[in-house]
Amino acid sequence: MAVSKNTRRSVPDTNAVFQKFFQNSQVSDEREHAWHQAICHAGGGMPPLRFPVYEDLYLLNVYAQSMVDQLNEITSKFSLNQETSVYYQCLIQYVRAGVSQEIVEFMAAIEHTDAWLFESQRKVEEKSLRDPDDVYSLVRDREQERLQQGLPPRIRFLDDAPAGR
């Protein structure tokens, strides 16, 4: 039994081209929903980023490193226990790495879907710009390449055929 994917509600501020791709594709509803969730915050920050989550991830990593650096400085200034300081640094880096890993894993699916969407849009745009008769020129060029390689021709063009045939 065939089921149409056109029953989905339209999401506000979604590129109409992408909405059409989602409707005509086999992309899971979960991936589509995750993609919509991610882009609903796109363009925030200064300068505006495609996905501000990357800016947040960057800042998390910068501030975690700053905490480690401050901890080292405090440890040396106040002659604190070096082993305890290393333990705390490990805790900070563990939290930083765990959060980074979760964000990157989540965004990987979004980026995968984004790549598919933009590839689909690129193909549509290229098709609209291409002259359908260009295929004949490509075939003729390929046949010339085959002849130069000493391979037999696969097709014969009518305008190359001897007269009277």
Q: What residues contact 85, with CB distance under 8 A and at least 6 apart?
A: 71, 72, 75
Cβ–Cβ under 8 Å, residues 97 and 60: no
More confident residue, 97 or 52: 97
Residue range 96-116, pLDDT digits in tens: 999 999 989 888 878 888 888
Residue range 81-96, pLDDT digits in tens: 989 999 999 999 999 9
- Whole-prediction pTM value? 0.56
Whether the pLDDT of residue 10 is over 60: the answer is no
- Of 73, 71, 100, the closest CA to residue 87 belongs to 71
